Amino acid sequence: MTSKLDQLRAMTTVVADTGDLDAIAKLTPVDATTNPSLLLKAAQLPRYAQALAEARSQAGGDVAKACDLFAVRVGEEILRLIPGRVSTEVDARLSFASEATYAKAMNLVELYNQRGIGTERLLIKIASTWEGIKAAERLEKAGVQCNLTLLFAFAQASACADAGVTLISPFVGRIYDWYKQQTGIDYQGSEDPGVQSVSRIYRYYKQNGYNTVVMGASFRNTGQIEALAGCDRLTISPALLESLAADQGSLTQQLQAGQAGEARQVLDENAFRWALNEDAMATEKLAEGIRLFAADQLKLEALLA
């Protein structure tokens, strides 16, 4: 019997949710994702000491530029180990500034280009606010593919698909966290609200012919991953990847094209904001996620200053 990780790879593209090069080399994912929290952890690893020093020296005292340079260096190192793409995130403090998000994204693309890395190896991560989605729509038209993150509500997924973004990252674990705190229930398998959210989005996309890739993210346990086997992609931490690699049990595909979904809906800005407002979980977790990423960005800046 092959491991559950190998079985999962046969039905889902596996992505590593880490900046740890040793873990990436060991677990051989197709793609990798980073965020300010993961970059902060990477910055404290000895193997990135030179990259930190170079980012400082090349930035000329501009701390924001130093952070971008460091993010690109981490991304470059990851790309040496994977065949696919790396996701690099725009500063969370720009989540409500569409023009600034677009400009920051294009700057990251240029920094990668200066190191000989083209857009075909990149995904630019942007928070799934209305402003972020509009910036991503513009970037996609300019040939820059995007990963819309901090996604908790069906309305966010619907708007992302209509904007033509390449990929979304619904946060399974954080949805689970919110409902567990509210109810005290330790949800399992298909009863997990985070699993249900991603399953609903997946079926909606397939039903309506959207090309946007669904990549479940932010997992708390392997049960959530197994319940989403068959999803387009899953981005998984090294610890959970190793747990799946060590498990020789059988894995059943749960999601596949052809399963019934909902009729297409198109949201304008007012409808989007109202739907998000009506979803208490999504409203709270989106705001919290932006704050947490912004706080880690500040810590990274302090480390680079």
Instruction: Determine contact, residues 198/228, Cβ cutoff 8 Å.
Output: yes
CATH number of the domain that 236 lies in?
3.20.20.70
Domain that holds residue 209: 8-304
Residues 6 or more apart in contact with residue 22 via CB below 8 angstroms: none
**pLDDT given at position 20:** 86
3 lies in a domain? no
Q: For residue 215, what are the β-bridge partners? A: 233
12 lies in a domain? yes
Task: Please give the model's pTM, rounded to 2 decimal places.
Answer: 0.95
**pLDDT given at position 19:** 84
Residue whose C-alpha is closest to residue 149's, from 141, 138, 160: 160
Residue whose C-alpha is closest to residue 91's, from 273, 302, 295, 304: 295
* Pairing, β 86-89 against β 122-127: parallel
The tens place of each residue's pLDDT in the chain, 305 residues long, gives 799 999 999 999 999 998 888 899 998 999 999 899 989 999 998 989 999 999 999 999 999 999 999 999 999 999 999 999 999 999 999 999 999 999 999 999 999 999 999 999 999 999 999 999 999 999 999 999 999 999 999 999 999 999 999 999 999 999 999 999 999 999 999 999 999 999 999 999 999 999 999 999 999 999 999 999 999 999 999 999 999 999 999 999 999 988 998 999 999 999 999 999 999 999 999 999 999 999 999 999 998 88
Number of domains in the chain: 1
Q: Would you name the residues annotated as active-site residues?
A: 125
**pLDDT given at position 216:** 98
**pLDDT given at position 114:** 97
Q: Could you say which DSSP state residue 227 is in?
A: T
60 lies in a domain? yes
Which residue reads 């990259």 in tokens? 51
Rounded to 5 degrees, what are φ and ψ at 201?
Answer: -65, -45
2 lies in a domain? no
219 lies in a domain? yes
212 lies in a domain? yes
d(CA 10, CA 142): 33
Judged by DSSP in three states, 14 sits in strand
**pLDDT given at position 185:** 98
156 lies in a domain? yes
d(CA 38, CA 41): 5
